[in-house]
Amino acid sequence: MTILTFDIEDWFNTHQNRRHYSGQIWDDLPSKVIENTGRILDLLEKHNKTATFFILGWVAKKHPSLVREIYNKGHEIGSHSYWHHNPHFITPDDFAKDTKLSLDVLQDITGEKIKAYRAPGFNLNLNDNWAFEILAENGIIIDSSVELRKKPENIPVTINTSKHKILEFPLIKSIFGFPYSGGGYFRAMPESWLNYFFKKDDYHLLYFHPRDFDPDMPSTNLFSFFRNSLNRYNTAECIKRLDNILNDYDTITLFEAANFIKG
């Protein structure tokens, strides 16, 4: 099972920056999310594939036409929070407010109930019951926010809440302790390693950001030297790498994966 997902955020909407929280200056930075998401949508159209798009509420509020374009092309829409906070750096109350805000924005634009969620940076743990309770209260039934060192026996992992079960599709780390199936690590790894990891297992959660495909990825002193370097590394090649994966693997969306398992 190879699941194709994207986290739609602008190149500066990350939590990995020196000041930790940079939301107050996002409006002043040059946006590249439309241009870079366009590269993703073109590639998916070429392969006639649909995917799950976790969209940051802040991006949706600023660029509602981008959300409509993704939705009208038949892709699944999920929430990637509103402010891209690590859930462990904010209070449960603020997590609840952030989740609701992002869902309200996305639901207003699409007219559809949003039922999938991905936390910024895959920063939930399976035992974060407080967070899954809040997600369930907000109607989330599919989650993809947890990074695991080892593949669990059953995927999706079933998470029980007082409201309903949530199906968790985790990201699995490689033997080196970092993920291989998306983002900076997918770009930075030699292709022979990628091929090895993709052949080795039968479950892959692909995850990319628009910035992964930006051949002119900017840098900023908001980020560490490491973060700037990783953000800029091999972005020009990434579209070709994903193109190869889409040629070689039948990818599915998260809701297709959930139905596949249930069926």
Binding residues for Zn ion (CB under 5 A): 7, 9, 120
Of 16 and 234, nearer to Zn ion (C-beta) is 16
Residue in this structure with the two tokens 């392969």, named with its chain if needed? 47
**How many residues appear in the chain?**
263
Least distance from Zn ion to the Cβ atom of residue 261, Å? 25
The helix/strand/coil state of 71 is helix
- Distance of closest approach, residue 9 Cβ to Zn ion, in angstroms: 5
| Comparison of 9 and 128: residue with beta carbon closer to Zn ion | 9
Shortest approach of Zn ion to residue 17 CB, angstroms? 12
Name the residue with tokens 């038949």: 74
| Helix, strand, coil percentages in the chain from 3-state DSSP, rounded to 5 | 45, 15, 40
Geometric angle at alpha carbon 155, from 189 and 199, rounded to 5°: 35
CB of 28 to Zn ion, least distance (A): 20
- Minimum CB distance to Zn ion, residue 118 (Å): 8
Measured from the CB atom, is 81 or 138 closer to Zn ion?
Answer: 81
3-state secondary structure 76-142: EEEECCCCCCCHHHCCHHHHHHHHHHHHHHHHHHHCCCCCEECCHHHEECCCCHHHHHHHHHCCCCE
* Residue with nearest beta carbon to Zn ion: 7
120 vs 156 by CB, closer to Zn ion: 120
Which of residues 80 and 204 has its CB atom nearest to Zn ion in the complex? 80
Q: Kindly tell me the burial class for residue 116, based on how many C-beta atoms sit within 10 Å of its own C-beta (0-12, 13-18, 19 or more).
A: buried
